[in-house]
Amino acid sequence: MVWPIRESLCITGSRIICSALRSNAPYPKFMNWIKTDGCHATTLPSFKEKQQEDHGYENMAEINGYMNLFGLMKQRFLNFKNQKYIKELEHFQSLAKAQYPKFMVIACADSRVCPSNVLGFQPGEVFMIRNIANLVPIMKNGASECNAALEFAVSTLQVENILVIGHSSCAGIEALMNMQDDTEPRSFIHNWVANGKVAKLKTKAATSHLSFDQQCKFCEKESINQSLLNLLSYPGIEDRVRKELVSIHGGYYDFSNCSFEKWTLDFKEREKNSYVVKEKELWC
């Protein structure tokens, strides 16, 4: 499996495009410095060399066409502080005391699909967890990140909506689809994505006539619905859904054409391990 994390590091749409990272070459030592006009990593100095070269200018974000990643981060933080925090001081000071998000979001950890960027969520609006392939495992006893986050979001924050967001070209779903069913998981990644096995089986049953890529796309959506069903296995969630205190939604971000599908599951019509989709919308 080629895990496209390196490609994910490229920030297209800004001036930072590091094409060298798309190759399978080892990471360069000078990741803190990148050329701002479409870099070729092999032409860059090491971070140490750069520090010596730029002695006395360490705090500058951009020097001679090189952008210091932490300099850039600092610049962005100060922009946030000056352009947003200070301008909305009262709002941020009330957020410092408490949060009242209406949404809990479960999204993939992939760097290209940050829900706050894509859907414009603002501080205080969403309680979020992100994991590989945006999976909600069926509830198991014992501590887990998912258990704890769902308990806090539902019982303490009393969110009104839970939204599971998947996306196109998900490497986690590809890993799930590529797994041999008759072998033990071989890595932490396989061990995790195996939580989507039911979605994989449904996909295989429904799409045996399709190509592998098309099967993966189908599974990217099927696994969202399976995660939505799995949500009901957590304490209190099904009860809140039935009382209409919480709604459960699916979302799918296709970054190949920048579209977003949103739907809601109707659990009133639910039969065992099946679901009815309602309020389906395509934003494009």
Nearer to Zn ion among residue 2 and residue 98 (C-beta): 2
- Applying CB under 5 A, among 110, 174, 222, 261 the residue interacting with Zn ion is 110
Instruction: Single out the residue of 125, 149, 121, 118 nearest to residue 135, CA to CA.
Output: 149
Decide if 231 contacts 250 (C-beta within 8 A). no
Q: Applying CB under 5 A, which part among 3-11, 60-68, 93-101, 107-115 lies near Zn ion?
A: 107-115
170 binds Zn ion (CB under 5 A): yes
CA angle (11, 16, 19) in 5-degree steps: 85
CB of 87 to Zn ion, least distance (A): 34
Nearer to Zn ion among residue 108 and residue 136 (C-beta): 108
Instruction: Single out the residue of 189, 257, 137, 146 nearest to residue 5, CA to CA.
Output: 189
Instruction: Single out the residue of 270, 280, 277, 276 nearest to residue 238, CA to CA.
Output: 270
Consult the annotation and say whether 258 binds a ligand: no
Collapsing DSSP to helix, strand or coil, 91 comes out as helix
Q: Applying CB under 5 A, which part among 121-129, 171-179, 182-190, 203-211 lies near Zn ion?
A: 171-179
CB of 129 to Zn ion, least distance (A): 14
Consult the annotation and say whether 114 binds a ligand: no
Nearer to Zn ion among residue 106 and residue 170 (C-beta): 170
Strands across the sheet with 62-63, in order?
33-35, 66-68, 62-63
Q: Applying CB under 5 A, which part among 162-170, 238-246, 256-264, 271-279 lies near Zn ion?
A: 162-170
Which of left, alpha, beta for 246 (phi over 0: left; psi -120 to 50: alpha)? beta
Residues in contact with Zn ion, total (CB under 5 A)? 4
172 binds Zn ion (CB under 5 A): yes
Calpha distance 154→187 (Å, rounded): 32
Q: Applying CB under 5 A, which part among 64-72, 109-117, 177-185, 239-247 lies near Zn ion?
A: 109-117
| Residue type (1 letter), 140 | K
193 binds Zn ion (CB under 5 A): no
108 binds Zn ion (CB under 5 A): yes
Nearer to Zn ion among residue 114 and residue 139 (C-beta): 114
Consult the annotation and say whether 167 binds a ligand: yes
Hey, which residues between 231 and 260 contact Zn ion (CB under 5 A)? none
Q: What is the DSSP letter of 25?
A: P
Q: Applying CB under 5 A, which part among 163-171, 174-182, 189-197, 222-230 lies near Zn ion?
A: 163-171
Place of tokens 């189908």: 218
Q: What share of the chain is helix, strand, coil (3-state, %, to 5)?
A: 40, 20, 40
Nearer to Zn ion among residue 8 and residue 147 (C-beta): 8
Consult the annotation and say whether 110 binds a ligand: yes
Phi, psi of 109 (to 5 degrees): -75, -10
Calpha distance 148→249 (Å, rounded): 20
Calpha distance 97→105 (Å, rounded): 22
Nearer to Zn ion among residue 108 and residue 228 (C-beta): 108
Q: Which residues are annotated as a binding site?
A: 108, 110, 167, 170
Please give the residue ranges that form the binding site for Zn ion (CB under 5 A): 108, 110, 170, 172
Q: Which residues are annotated as a binding site for Zn(2+)?
A: 108, 110, 167, 170
